[in-house]
Amino acid sequence: MNSNPADSVRTSEISSSPLANANVGSARAGGDQQSSPVALHVIIEAEDSRLQLDLRDLWRYRELLYFLTWRDVKIRYKQTLLGALWAIIQPLFTMILFTIVFGRLAHVPSDNVPYPLFAYTALLPWTFLANAITNSSNSLIGSTTLITKVYFPRVIIPAAPVLAGLVDLAIAFLLLAPMLMYYHIGITWRILLLPLLVLLTALLAFAAGMWTAAVNVKYRDVRYALPFLIQLLMFASPIIYPATIAPTRWQWLLRLNPVTGVVGGFRSALLARSFDWPSIAIATALTALLLILSFIYFRRVEDNFADVI
């Protein structure tokens, strides 16, 4: 019998047979007889229709989240020649290409910042965001056996690739220190806000990944459409160009893209520039809204994962 993944589990002691019931009853009546052993049964009851996030349930399965995250990290670099260096190679070579094409040939402005540093500080959050969303969108499909066999909070599965991507992000930061020294960029108090910006980026990746993962279970077109959409989002975000390149009357439209606030925040924290607080505030609000809507949709459809997947 297939168990509902969103069901709550309770245990009760039920007599294993009518004879055991009779023995238990006689023991209670006499008081001097030993009661018969009872069997432990697990009863699975359907939850109510309210959408709830049981944080205690997630905490109980924290070891599973750690295992899935570490599994993703090991699989990513298993039997690779360069190993974890790929976390640096991807943004590094993209930065070199952008510098040649857009910095040297197209002369795209970079707000008086050396273009290699201008591009790399944006590619750090973008590479993490794009990879985390892509891996999360395929996470449920790649965990078919686990979903159909064992009960656990399904939201853990799309969360694991996001946490695994933080390892790559930390490795990619190693190249930033020598670049800052080479271009004589000092560190200011603004870098203290970098952990909050990383958290905001991770939540944005988790919200988008959770939604696309749930949709991908039923509609496998997601795996083909998502790379194209991510590529469009990159050109719609101020990664190659600065946000100030847009006319003043269209700045609000660019700020409606949450990546704008994330990328701008990273550049400000790492390059000792003033923060664009309205963009960061809009990015935070949109991330929170997307997170809530994605979770609601995920909880509505997760009951059918085992049947559809």
Q: Three-state DSSP class for 231?
A: helix
Q: In angstroms, rounded to a whole number, what is the distance separating the alpha carbons of residues 161 and 243?
A: 29
Q: Which residues are bridge partners to 40 per DSSP?
A: 13
Q: What is the pLDDT of residue 135?
A: 93
Q: What is the pLDDT of residue 263?
A: 96
Q: What is the pLDDT of residue 52?
A: 56
Q: In angstroms, rounded to a whole number, what is the distance separating the alpha carbons of residues 212 and 60?
A: 26
CA atoms within 13 A on the CB side of 103: 19
Contact predicate 227/135, CB 8 Å: no
Question: Could you please report the per-residue DSSP string of 46-102?
Answer: PPPSS----HHHHHHTHHHHHHHHHHHHHHHHTT-SSGGGHHHHHHHHHHHHHIIII
Q: What is the pLDDT of residue 76?
A: 78
Q: Please give the backbone phi and psi of residue 140, each rounded to the nearest 5 degrees, phi first.
A: -70, -40
Give pLDDT < 70 ranges for the chain: 1-55, 79-81
Q: What is the pLDDT of residue 82?
A: 72
Q: What is the pLDDT of residue 37?
A: 53
Q: Please give the backbone phi and psi of residue 45, each rounded to the nearest 5 degrees, phi first.
A: -115, 145
Q: In angstroms, rounded to a whole number, what is the distance separating the alpha carbons of residues 150 and 45?
A: 16
Q: In the numeric block, which tokens belong to residue 54?
A: 């049981």
Q: Which position has the token pair 């910006």?
A: 197
Cα diameter, the chain: 97
Q: What is the pLDDT of residue 14?
A: 39
pTM, two decimals, is 0.81
Q: What is the pLDDT of residue 108?
A: 93
First-to-last CA distance in the chain?
A: 16
Q: What is the pLDDT of residue 11?
A: 38
Q: Please give the backbone phi and psi of residue 186, each rounded to the nearest 5 degrees, phi first.
A: -85, 160
